Amino acid sequence: MPVSYSPLSLPNSRPAGPSVLDELGFDPDPNNLYRQTAVQVLDAADRVEAPRYLQLILAQPKNELMIHFPVRMDDGSYKLFKGYRVQHNNTLGPYKGGMRFHPHVGLDHVKALALLMTMKCALAHLPLGGAKGGVQVNTRELSPGEQMRLTRRFTSALGDNIGPEHDIPAPDVGTNATVMGWMADTYMNITGRAHRSSGNAVVTGKPLDFGGSQGREKATGQGLVYALDELLPELGLEAAGMTFSVIGYGNVGSWAARLLAARGAKLTAVLDQSGAIRNPNGIDAEALVGYANSHNGGVSGYPDAEKIDEESFYRTEVDLCIPAALEQMIDKTKAGWLACKAIAEGANAPTTPEGDAELSRRGVAVLPAVLCNCGGVTVSYFEWMQNRQAETWPVDRVDSQLRRIIGEASQRVRQMREKLGCDLRTAAFAAAVERIEHVYSIRGVFP
């Protein structure tokens, strides 16, 4: 007798009882990034009356993998490293999400970022689920050879927990195309024959000559600029003539800056790990990339701008600020300093809950990361498709498909905002949750 999985076969009512967070024993600290993210997603889920079973499922990842692995250093000694892979949800398709190499990588942090990946893929209607991972390490302290051995040993320790049909990592903070190339090569060497010569779809963000996609390096910045095309007009802003500042001048920040500058916007201030700089007459975004590349990635000391302190950076008057560094950098104090009309989130969750509330109190528009930075995973999806179909797309095709997906996702967010009368972040999460709920209602919950 076939089992019918109609939406009605799943419990739709939410009985009165403990909140999902209480039932699952969440850390009560409101600044815990995982709690912060889950609270936002569950609030959105409540607003679209998502059933409790779905809220419980989304509130915890499916799998949390923690690995300790030794790496031989150049001096012959061994160091033990801690790595993570959190697979949040794969209802829509294989797990997908970045690998971060950073000293502050920790479990709750990775869980939060994995949940956000589930939301991003669902909002963009990609056939992918959400994951995130990384290694607790300061790569600046490692030689290139040590970084390669760390990457390869971590990848081999992950074993078949990743794979082109199962879980597909990508670059994030502290990792890049070179690291993705090492991950793919390692996977192809340790896996079975099926993936030995065509298994490079196991990771995205690879070097172009080893299965990478045109347009992937700039994809997150490009997606952010396409999202701005959609959302700036309703704020009474347009890229041409607009002033903007950027926090973090790595992949996302520097590409967003270059692409916005190409549309006539003026970059006037930048803050990164090395310090802050300002020039009211404009900073050449392209030249700054060249400077940072030859100065250990940092913008400090750039000759055509004045050096300023952090507070002066935040107090610099601009139309738009783009946080593109790490999570929770903008707390209540910094949110109070910010002198911009809008924030376009390149980084995931760049504000603390109090910072978010302060921005809302001050009427600063927040364009949420779940929409603004989903360009990265979208072009990763294109790379994965190209690898699996043995195709190479020209950059025009990548860009036009990306623009279409960001346009449609923006439309979903706007429609949900109208329906619920809420802010853009809540609307984006609500649209994502609705998508996942719909697929669960078709698939059912096994068995």
Which one of residues 324, 335, 366, 406 is an interface residue with ligand NAD (CB under 6 A)?
324
> Residue 97, interface with ligand NAD (CB under 6 A)?
no
> Residue 156, interface with ligand NAD (CB under 6 A)?
no
Stretch that binds ligand NAD, among 23-31, 47-55, 71-79, 265-273 (CB under 6 A): 265-273
> Residue 373, interface with ligand NAD (CB under 6 A)?
yes
> Residue 249, interface with ligand NAD (CB under 6 A)?
yes
Least spacing, CB of residue 88 vs ligand NAD, in Å: 15
Least spacing, CB of residue 262 vs ligand NAD, in Å: 18
> Residue 410, interface with ligand NAD (CB under 6 A)?
no
> Residue 250, interface with ligand NAD (CB under 6 A)?
yes
Would you say 329 or 420 has its CB closer to ligand NAD?
329
Stretch that binds ligand NAD, among 36-44, 104-112, 235-243, 346-354 (CB under 6 A): 346-354
> Residue 171, interface with ligand NAD (CB under 6 A)?
yes
Q: Per-residue contact track with ligand NAD, 210 to 229, x per CB under 6 A? A: ----------x---------
| Catalytic annotation, pick one of 96, 132, 206, 266 | 132
Return the residues of window 326-345 that contact ligand NAD according to CB under 6 A. 326
> Residue 273, interface with ligand NAD (CB under 6 A)?
yes
Which one of residues 51, 61, 174, 181 is an interface residue with ligand NAD (CB under 6 A)?
174
Angle value at C-alpha 96, between 371 and 434, nearest 5 degrees: 50
> Residue 325, interface with ligand NAD (CB under 6 A)?
yes
Would you say 36 or 251 has its CB closer to ligand NAD?
251
Stretch that binds ligand NAD, among 52-60, 121-129, 267-275, 396-404 (CB under 6 A): 267-275
For the purposes of burial, counting CB atoms within 10 Å of the CB of 184, is it exposed (0-12), middle (13-18) or buried (19 or more)? Answer: buried
Which one of residues 90, 155, 251, 316 is an interface residue with ligand NAD (CB under 6 A)?
251
Q: Is 132 a residue of the active site?
A: yes
Catalytic residue numbers read 132
- Give contact residues for ligand NAD (rule: CB under 6 A): 171-174, 220, 247-253, 271-273, 324-326, 346-348, 373, 376
